[in-house]
Amino acid sequence: MSEAKLLLVEDDASLREALLDTLMLAQYDCIDVASAEEAILALKQHQFDLVISDVQMPGIGGLGLLNYLQQHHPKLPVLLMTAYATIGSAVSAIKLGAVDYLAKPFAPEVLLNQVSRYLPLKQNRDQPVVADEKSLSLLSLAQRVAASDASVMILGPSGSGKEVLARYIHQHSSRAEEAFVAINCAAIPENMLEATLFGYEKGAFTGAYQACPGKFEQAQCGTLLLDEISEMDLGLQAKLLRVLQEREVERLGGRKTIKLDVRVLATSNRDLKAVVAAGQFREDLYYRINVFPLTWPALNQRPADILPLARHLLAKHAKTLNVADLPEFDEAACRRLLSHRWPGNVRELDNVVQRALILRTGALITANDIIIDAQDVPLTSDDAEYTSEPEGLGEELKAQEHVIILETLAQCQGSRKLVAEKLGISARTLRYKMARMRDMGIQLPS
C-alpha cells in the first residue's frame, strides 16, 4: 500500500463508497468522512498528504473546509469535486487555494490520475534489505545499471521485490530528485490503460470532461515503471513501442506531440521470452525494454536474506503499530522461518511477520507465533480480517470464490455495498479480496 494518506470528504454515501473503492484498489491509504465538520476532526487525529472534497455539502461545506485548511494546514493540497454545472465555484475555489478540481461525473482513472499528480513522493520507502551473496551482487549490478539511462527489465516471481528494486534503481540514478511514477498494467482495465499511459484531451471520450496528462508526462525527467508489462494487450504494445522509439507522446484526442525525457523500467513475473514465443508479447518491444535484464531469484534461492528481511519487516510493522519494545525471534522461530519454502516470497514473509507481531505475548517471538498457514489464524477483529488472506485456501476454492464475487458484482450492478451484504462479508474484506483479484490480473468492473 502507498504510504501517502488521503482524506476523502463526500456526503453522498454511494458516491463516497465508489470513490473509496477506486482509491483503495489503487493501493491508497484512505480515510472517508461525510462532512467538512468530520473532516476537521479527522485532520486533528491523522496526518494527511492530500484532501479530496466535495464542494456542495450541508454544514460549512467544501469551501468552509478549504478556508479552514488554508489557515491550519496551508501546505496540504486539496482537490475539489464539483458538479459540472457549478464549475464556476470550483474555479473560485482554486483562487482560494485548492490545487485542482474534478468535474462530476468523472471516470475512476481521472480521479487516480489527478491524485497521483499531487501526492508527494515519499523518499524513505523500503530500501532493499539484502544479505545473501546473490542479492548483494544483484544490488551492485543494479547500482551500475542505475548510473546509465538504459531501459531495465526486472524479472522474478511474484512478491520477490521487483518494485523495490525498481525504486532502488531510480534512487541511484541521476533522476533521483525527479518523479518516480509506477503503473500496474494488469490492474487497469484494458480500455483505460492507453488513456492512463498517454493522457487525453477534454472530450477525447465519453467522460473526459477535462484534459489529463498521462503517466509518461507525469514521469517527465524522471522514471516510469511499467509493472507487469507482459499483461498489456498487443495493440497497446505497438503504441507503446512507438512512444519509446520516437521519445514523444500524443495525448488521446490531442494534436500536439510532447517530447519525452523519461527512463523506462518494466517488470514481469512471467518468462517473457516464452510469452514472446507464444505470440503474446511483441519481440521488438521485448528487445527495446530488455536492454538490461535483472532477475530477483525466489526467496528460497537466497536463504541468507530471510532473517534480515524478517527483522526489518518486524521493525517496520512494530513502528506502524507503535510497539514500544521491539520483540526478537527466538531460535526455534528462526529455524521455522528458515525451513519454509516461501512460495509467496517476501510478501508472504511480510504477512507471517505481521501475524507473529500480533500473536506474540512477550519480548520473544516463538515458533508458535510463526503461523505459516493463515487458515490457523484466529480472526478476531475486522483489521485482522482485512490484512490476512487465508492463504491455505486451495486454488480451486479460491477460483470459486472469484467466480462468486464476479457473479455477485454483475447481479448487483457493481454496487460493492450490496455485494458485501449479499456475501455476508464486510465492505473492507470485499475491497481487499477485489484488490487481490486485480493483482492476479482478473478484470473487475470499475
Ligand X SMILES: Nc1ncnc2c1ncn2[C@@H]1O[C@H](COP(=O)(O)OP(=O)(O)OP(=O)(O)O)[C@@H](O)[C@H]1O
Cell numbers for 346, please give them.
517476501
Cα 57–Cα 60–Cα 61 angle in degrees, nearest 5: 30
* Residue 161 in contact with ligand X, rule: CB under 6 A: yes
Cα 140–Cα 144–Cα 145 angle in degrees, nearest 5: 115
Segment interacting with ligand X (CB under 6 A) among 21-29, 161-169, 200-208, 280-288: 161-169
C-beta separation of 197 from 216 below 8 A: yes
* Residue 197 in contact with ligand X, rule: CB under 6 A: no
Segment interacting with ligand X (CB under 6 A) among 26-34, 141-149, 152-160, 318-326: 152-160
Residues binding ligand X: what is the number (CB under 6 A)?
19
Q: Rounded distance, CA 64 to CA 364, Å?
A: 50
C-beta separation of 354 from 315 below 8 A: no
With CB atoms as reference, the residue minimizing the distance to ligand X is 161
Cell numbers for 39, please give them.
473532516
Q: Binding ligand X by CB under 6 A: which of 270, 347, 422, 428?
A: 347
* Residue 163 in contact with ligand X, rule: CB under 6 A: yes
Dihedral sign for Cα 95, 98, 100, 104, please: negative
Minimum distance between the CB of residue 350 and ligand X, rounded to whole angstroms? 5
Q: Rounded distance, CA 362 to CA 334, Å?
A: 16
Q: Binding ligand X by CB under 6 A: which of 2, 22, 114, 160?
A: 160
- Pairing outcome for strands 5-9 and 257-259: unpaired
State which residue, 163 or 421, has the beta carbon closest to ligand X.
163
Segment interacting with ligand X (CB under 6 A) among 17-25, 73-81, 99-107, 126-134: 126-134
* Residue 129 in contact with ligand X, rule: CB under 6 A: yes
Segment interacting with ligand X (CB under 6 A) among 21-29, 44-52, 158-166, 406-414: 158-166
- Pairing outcome for strands 212-213 and 199-200: antiparallel
Only one residue has cell 524522471, namely 222
Q: Binding ligand X by CB under 6 A: which of 56, 70, 89, 158?
A: 158
State which residue, 25 or 309, has the beta carbon closest to ligand X.
309
Minimum distance between the CB of residue 362 and ligand X, rounded to whole angstroms? 26
Cα 23–Cα 73–Cα 65 angle in degrees, nearest 5: 70
Q: Rounded distance, CA 105 to CA 81, Å?
A: 9
Minimum distance between the CB of residue 229 and ligand X, rounded to whole angstroms? 11
Element (H, E) at 246: helix 234-246
Q: Binding ligand X by CB under 6 A: which of 159, 199, 214, 327?
A: 159
Only one residue has cell 490457523, namely 376
Only one residue has cell 494518506, namely 5
Q: Binding string to ligand X for residues 40 to 79, with x set by CB under 6 A, is what?
A: ----------------------------------------
- Tally the C-alpha atoms within 13 A of residue 143's C-alpha that lie toward its C-beta: 7
Cα 176–Cα 187–Cα 118 angle in degrees, nearest 5: 45
Q: Rounded distance, CA 138 to CA 294, Å?
A: 7
* Residue 164 in contact with ligand X, rule: CB under 6 A: yes
Under rule CB under 6 A, which residues in 91-120 are in contact with ligand X?
none
C-beta separation of 44 from 69 below 8 A: no
Under rule CB under 6 A, which residues in 250-279 are in contact with ligand X?
267, 269
Only one residue has cell 473560485, namely 92
* Residue 170 in contact with ligand X, rule: CB under 6 A: no
Q: Binding ligand X by CB under 6 A: which of 117, 162, 170, 263?
A: 162
* Residue 217 in contact with ligand X, rule: CB under 6 A: no
State which residue, 253 or 303, has the beta carbon closest to ligand X.
303
Segment interacting with ligand X (CB under 6 A) among 122-130, 286-294, 330-338, 404-412: 122-130
State which residue, 10 or 350, has the beta carbon closest to ligand X.
350
State which residue, 308 or 414, has the beta carbon closest to ligand X.
308
Q: Binding string to ligand X for residues 290 to 319, with x set by CB under 6 A, is what?
A: -------------------x--x-------
Q: To the nearest 5 percent, what fractions of the chain are helix, strand and coil?
A: 50, 15, 35
Name the residues that contact ligand X, by CB under 6 A.
126, 128-130, 156, 158-164, 267, 269, 309, 312, 346-347, 350
